[in-house]
């Protein structure tokens, strides 16, 4: 077992990326992800990597497009307003079937919003990460260790399915320090990319990175081909953690930092004899449909806990499909709920109340 080191989430993401064979980074400063870019700026040049601070988020994501087209493992990182600027480029990456890792260390919004932790970009990440018919894989860690572990998986999934992948974290996870066990540095085998633009060397047909198909039939065919890859992703790549769900009357569903608070709340009410459990989706797209479906016959109530006005709860409702009650509790704008707040909500649900509440207001 490797030695554990104490690292900030943002730094752990950067180090894990380098250890996964990513030596190319383009970014732009924004709070609360800046430690990630700073780590790359220090670590990449001595190992012959490319770190470049772009003139904008727009330029950064298009540099990512160029580097990905060249066949290298490449990433960028930002926070909510910056990710909005990257959406154009993400759509082009999707359209040209180019892999890339995009980190979103979320902060509260809309607009400039604040710089405190938030989960208000769930819809953007999972439903509307750019114009057109397209999706990206979205992974949501809840500890610094998991931030480390998901990076290599994100790169591998991107290469396997030729799609951008996002790690959706938040300012709490990005800024907090926890002990982590880093992956080994050797033994990373990067896949062959015969489609890459490396110069044809007069030895093969030319390659193109292109998202444009003016012939509607050709465009529809290309989208259908991609959609069939999405079906495989939905079937094979769902990731979730279940905690005390076997006998849970009330199942909380929460991801990322919100899941840490939810887990503490589950422990509190369990001590009082309320049988609560937690499903923690790790893959947000594909959404953890299967594990929730398995829970529907077991639980009478589901409670989504988010740092938002309620976004993932829509996906939860789609799975539960009216068969059981679905509740929501959240805080937004950078406020993190306490375990006591959540525990109180669970008690009210156990007493038969229907909860749809943000902060202390019911809707």
Partner 1 sequence: MSTTTESVVSTEKRRVLFSRPKSLSDVVTHYCPGCTHGIVHRLVAEVIDQLDIEGKTIGVCPVGCSVLAHNYFNFDMAQAAHGRAPAVATGLKRSLPDSVVFTYQGDGDLASIGMAETVHAALRGEKITVIFINNAIYGMTGGQMAPTSLPGQVTQTSPYGRDIEAAGYPVKVCELLSGLEGVALAQRVTVDTPNHVRAARRAIKKAFDYQIEGLGYSIIEVISTCPTNWGLSADASMKWLRENMLPYYPLGVFKDIKAGAAAAGAAAAAGDANTAGDAGDE
Binding site for partner 1 (CB under 8 A): 24, 26, 50, 52, 54-56, 58-60, 62-72, 74, 88-89, 92, 96, 197-203, 206-212
The residue behind tokens 């896949």 is 191
Q: Taking each helix axis from N to C terminus, what angle separates 9-19 and 34-43, rounded to the nearest 10 degrees?
A: 40
CB of 92 to partner 1, least distance (A): 5
Maximal CA-CA distance, the chain: 73
Compute the chain's Rg from CA coordinates. Answer: 21
Residues 99, 68: contact at Cβ < 8 Å?
A: yes
CA distance 265 to 23: 40
CA distance 40 to 266: 38
CB of 93 to partner 1, least distance (A): 10
Instruction: Tell the burial category of 321 from Cβ atoms under 10 Å away from its Cβ (0-12, 13-18, 19+).
Output: exposed
CB of 77 to partner 1, least distance (A): 16
- Closer residue to partner 1 (CB): 210 or 362: 210
- Closer residue to partner 1 (CB): 209 or 274: 209
Return phi, psi of residue 308, to 5°.
-165, 180
- Closer residue to partner 1 (CB): 1 or 214: 214
- Closer residue to partner 1 (CB): 223 or 336: 223
CB of 91 to partner 1, least distance (A): 8
CB of 76 to partner 1, least distance (A): 10
Non-local (6+) Cβ contacts of 62 within 8 A are: 89, 92
CB of 97 to partner 1, least distance (A): 12
- Closer residue to partner 1 (CB): 211 or 242: 211
- Closer residue to partner 1 (CB): 57 or 149: 57
Non-local (6+) Cβ contacts of 335 within 8 A are: 116, 307, 359
Q: What angle do CA 7, 178, 271 make, to 5 degrees?
A: 170
- The token duo for 111 is 């607009």
- Closer residue to partner 1 (CB): 67 or 125: 67
- The token duo for 41 is 């700026």
CB of 18 to partner 1, least distance (A): 16
With CA atoms as reference, report the closest residue to 342 among 273, 253, 280: 253
3-state secondary structure of 164: strand
- Closer residue to partner 1 (CB): 203 or 217: 203
CB of 86 to partner 1, least distance (A): 11
- Closer residue to partner 1 (CB): 60 or 262: 60
DSSP string, 178-190: EEEEPPPSS---P
CB of 74 to partner 1, least distance (A): 7
Residues 125, 136: contact at Cβ < 8 Å?
A: yes
């Amino acid at each position: 077992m490797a030695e554990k080191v104490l690292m900030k989430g943002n730094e752990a993401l950067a180090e894990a990326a380098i250890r996964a064979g990513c030596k190319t980074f383009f970014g732009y400063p924004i709070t609360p992800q800046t430690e990630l870019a700073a780590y790359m700026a220090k670590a990449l040049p001595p190992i012959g990597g490319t770190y470049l601070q772009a003139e904008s988020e727009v330029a950064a994501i298009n540099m990512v497009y160029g580097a990905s087209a060249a066949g290298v493992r490449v990433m960028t990182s930002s926070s909510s307003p910056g990710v909005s600027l990257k959406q154009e480029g993400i759509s082009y990456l999707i359209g040209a079937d180019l892999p890339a890792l995009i980190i979103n260390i979320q902060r509260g919004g809309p607009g400039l919003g604040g710089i405190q932790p938030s989960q208000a970009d769930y819809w953007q990440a999972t439903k509307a990460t750019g114009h057109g018919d397209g999706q990206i894989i979205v992974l949501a860690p809840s500890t610094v260790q998991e931030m480390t572990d998901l990076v290599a998986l994100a790169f591998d999934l991107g290469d396997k399915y030729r799609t951008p992948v996002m790690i959706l974290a938040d300012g709490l996870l990005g800024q907090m320090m926890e002990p982590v066990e880093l992956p080994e540095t050797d033994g990373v085998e990067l896949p062959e990319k015969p489609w890459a633009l490396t110069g044809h060397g007069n030895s093969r047909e030319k390659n193109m990175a292109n998202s444009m198909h003016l012939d509607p039939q050709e465009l529809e065919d290309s989208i259908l081909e991609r959609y069939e890859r999405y079906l495989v992703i939905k079937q094979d790549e769902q990731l979730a953690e279940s905690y005390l769900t076997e006998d849970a009357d009330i199942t909380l569903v929460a991801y990322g930092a919100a899941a840490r608070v939810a887990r503490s709340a589950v422990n509190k009410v369990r001590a009082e004899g309320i049988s609560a459990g937690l499903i923690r989706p790790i893959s947000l797209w594909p959404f953890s449909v299967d594990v929730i479906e398995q829970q529907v016959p077991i639980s009478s109530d589901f409670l989504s806990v988010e740092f938002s006005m309620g976004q993932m709860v829509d996906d939860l409702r789609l799975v539960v499909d009216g068969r059981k009650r679905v509740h929501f509790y959240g805080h937004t704008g950078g406020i993190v709920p306490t375990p006591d707040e959540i525990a109180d909500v669970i008690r009210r649900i156990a007493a038969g109340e229907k909860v749809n509440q943000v902060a202390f207001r019911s809707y």
